[in-house]
Structure 1
Amino acid sequence: MKESDIRPEALLNRYLEFSASDAERCFADVVRQPIPCVGCGGSQANHEFEKNGFAYSSCTACGSLFQSPRPTLAAFEAFYRDSVSSRYWAEVFFPAVAEARRERIFKPRAERLSSLCAQKNVQVDKVIDVGAGYGILLDEWRALHPNASLLAIEPSSVLANECRAKGLDVIEDIAENVTGYQSYADLVVCFEVLEHVYDPLAFVRTLVNLARPGGYVFISTLGVDGFDIQLLWEKSNSIFPPHHINFLSVAGFKLLFERAGLEEIDVTTPGVLDVNIVQNAVKKDPKILHNQRFVRTLLASDATAAAFQRFLSDNLLSSHTWVLGRKPL
């Protein structure tokens, strides 16, 4: 898989342009306050850089990268309701790549997650997908487990209707407002949402509340330890406020899940795009690898680049991160 398969350059550039404009339009006069580390909760952090008018800091304890000082929750809620970039993602970007992502991302993801549950000897009869988007993951899960009870939680009316069109049960709201499903699911999943949320600890606790005792909470998101983010840093297209504001370290993810009350926490980084993302960035700006002779050598050969990507994935050094934790009995 290549980055262009799931993020065509023209669509991505337009989305990033809209995001930068929204950052100025929606947050120019909003009050901001410093926040503790979104991973470990620590209070000591170093300023790293600014992007689109948003400052990012790294935790001196666990190494997580997060946006701080942070605008108010109300400002973010208004942004997601009214922003041009959010509408563009839901109405233009994702529909253009939905089926490509089904084959390259969601189908393999459902198969891998199903195998992971089998390895844990987890009987999964009830699944909740928080931030279900177009409902593709649940659709693929149903193909593997036809008798499973599936629930999509999706606040966007456009996306909620896409889930309904696939015959899924839907709650059209944010997870924090959902009632009647406490301690319900064998498995609560959340894909590519944590990097967006205002308060990751409160959010993960919400996911835990939806899981039954002995059930599992799973997220996939972006991690700061990944090769592409570490090398590109503020030039990374993955770091684009106001959308992506949380990039926890491997240590930060473990501490976050522990603070949320989970146990038996597993962190993996099964990403496959880190090297290709850097290669694409270097094509646009060769100066990125100035004085990086060894990295240029790694990326020059297709065989070496593929082997290096496997090394990253196997050693918790890919930015695409999976975190799984068990709710205590």
Structure 2
Amino acid sequence: MLRSYQYTEKSYFEYTFQSNLFRDKQIGIARRFVDMHPIRRDMKETCPICGQAAGNYFFSKWKVDYVCCPVCKSIFAVYDKHTVEEYHDNPELLELRISDVYQEEIMRNRQDTWNEFLEWIEVRAFRFMRRNRNLSIVDYGNRFEGYVDSIRKSQICGNYDLKSSILSVDVDDIQYGKADMVLYLDQMQQEIQPVARIQELKKYLKEDGILILNTRAGSGFDIVTLKEKNARIYPYEHILLPSVKGLVLFLEKNGFEILEITTPGVMDVKYVLDFKDKLDDQENFVKYLLEESSQSILQEFQRFLQKGCLSSFVSVIAKKRKI
């Protein structure tokens, strides 16, 4: 398994993925939904990532408890399955996300990031499959029209199939065992049944095909440090935050071989800086680091988080393990 590292330095003040308006609208919808539904309180379920232990209380957000697995350190919410399914189908949220103004805003802010990531995929596809042109690609859960368009227009894409999406687009019907690549991007944090989902995605892959997965990592610096104060983590948008260790265990347990894993996030320090005045009293080291360090030291610390797979955004490349 390769732990890859490539530092990409972005301006903290210019690097953004969506406007505060749309972020705040989605958070508002989620908050109203949580307030209108009963909260589950028991914490008896085993970790959905490693399956080895029930979680220990970690924090609460909007009265929803999040627990941390004592074995793999993944973080997951305590929730009722039907409530989360209802949230995923929330008409107000879906209407916002399929609106032209939302899709256009996301595309303006993320197009460069999408292009960079597709270039990253192109290099890895050749490294691990010895081919990176006209591939059959299954894209699971993608809800951004601009991203779908970018993938389809890229040199790596031949046939394209979009599964389980709020978008309505014409696609190819790629059957089990026919995909060179499966994209599972920014979806795992919403997954109710991660084992069933990853087994389904594995069925689409050819014997030498690869899975490209990214998600928020529960072992990431800003998530562990900020806990409930992290404005970008909230129920029921984020119910499953696997640690890097947990994600490796999860994929290997479900028949995958990890080829490469990296945490290329660039925003951990920025997110914690935004809330440094609200940090818990026990976070004295982090407070001192943020208050006394120069910009260059903070940038070096972000590099350290990336190198150590300690950032809160993780990307994985894996292939089906040969039986």
TM-score by length of 2: 0.85
Q: Distance in 1 between matches of 2:278 and 2:151?
A: 43
Q: 1:97 to 1:187 in 2, by over 3 A?
A: same
> Which of 12, 23, 39 is 1:12 aligned to?
23
Aligned letter for 2:279?
A: I
Q: Deviation digits for residues 214-234 of structure 1, max 9, x if unmatched? A: 211121100011111111111
Q: CA deviation at 1:142?
A: 4.0
Deviates more, 1:8-17 or 1:239-248: 8-17
Q: Distance in 2 between matches of 1:316 and 1:150?
A: 31
Secondary structure at the aligned position of 2:190 is classed as coil
Q: 1:287 maps to which residue?
A: 278
Aligned letter for 1:46?
A: N
Deviates more, 1:263-272 or 1:55-64: 263-272
Q: Following superposition of structure 1 onto structure 2, how do residues 146-157 of structure 1 map, counting pairs within 5 Å? A: 148-156=158-166
Give RMSD over aligned pairs: 2.5
> Which of 260, 266, 276 is 1:266 aligned to?
260
Q: 1:148 to 1:31 in 2, by over 3 A?
A: same
Q: Deviation digits for residues 22-66 of structure 1, max 9, x if unmatched? A: 1122x3277977432121111232111221232111111111111
Q: Deviation digits for residues 278-324 of structure 1, max 9, x if unmatched? A: 22233xxx2327634432246x5222222221221121011010122
Aligned letter for 1:311?
A: F
Q: 1:146 to 1:85 in 2, by over 3 A?
A: closer
Q: Distance in 2 between matches of 1:120 and 1:29?
A: 45
Q: Distance in 2 between matches of 1:116 and 1:218?
A: 10
Matched, 1:232 2:234: no
> Which of 287, 311, 323 is 2:304 aligned to?
311
Matched, 1:276 2:285: no
Q: Distance in 2 between matches of 1:112 and 1:17?
A: 34
Q: CA deviation at 1:265?
A: 4.4
In structure 2, stretches of 5+ residues that fail to align are: 1-9
In structure 1, stretches of 5+ residues that fail to align are: 172-179
Higher relative contact order (CA 8 A, sep 6+): 2
Task: Tell me, yes or no, if the aligned pair for 1:126 and 1:187 is still in contact at 8 Å.
Answer: yes
Matched, 1:301 2:294: yes
Q: Following superposition of structure 1 onto structure 2, how do residues 196-211 of structure 1 map, counting pairs within 5 Å? A: 196-211=190-205
Greater helix percent: which structure?
A: 1
Q: Distance in 2 between matches of 1:183 and 1:238?
A: 36
Q: Distance in 1 between matches of 2:181 and 2:151?
A: 12
Task: Tell me, yes or no, if the aligned pair for 2:54 and 2:69 is still in contact at 8 Å.
Answer: yes
Q: Distance in 1 between matches of 2:69 and 2:291?
A: 32
Q: 1:139 maps to which residue?
A: 149
Matched, 1:23 2:40: no
Task: Tell me, yes or no, if the aligned pair for 2:151 and 2:157 is still in contact at 8 Å.
Answer: no
Q: Following superposition of structure 1 onto structure 2, how do residues 1-329 of structure 1 map, counting pairs within 5 Å? A: 1=10, 2=12, 5-25=16-36, 27-28=37-38, 34-68=44-78, 70-72=79-81, 74-91=82-99, 93-103=102-112, 105-124=113-132, 125-145=135-155, 148-156=158-166, 159-160=167-168, 164=169, 169=171, 181-282=175-276, 286-288=277-279, 291-292=284-285, 293-297=287-291, 300-329=293-322
Aligned letter for 2:26?
A: Y
TM-score by length of 1: 0.84
Q: CA deviation at 1:198?
A: 0.4
Q: Distance in 2 between matches of 1:19 and 1:131?
A: 19
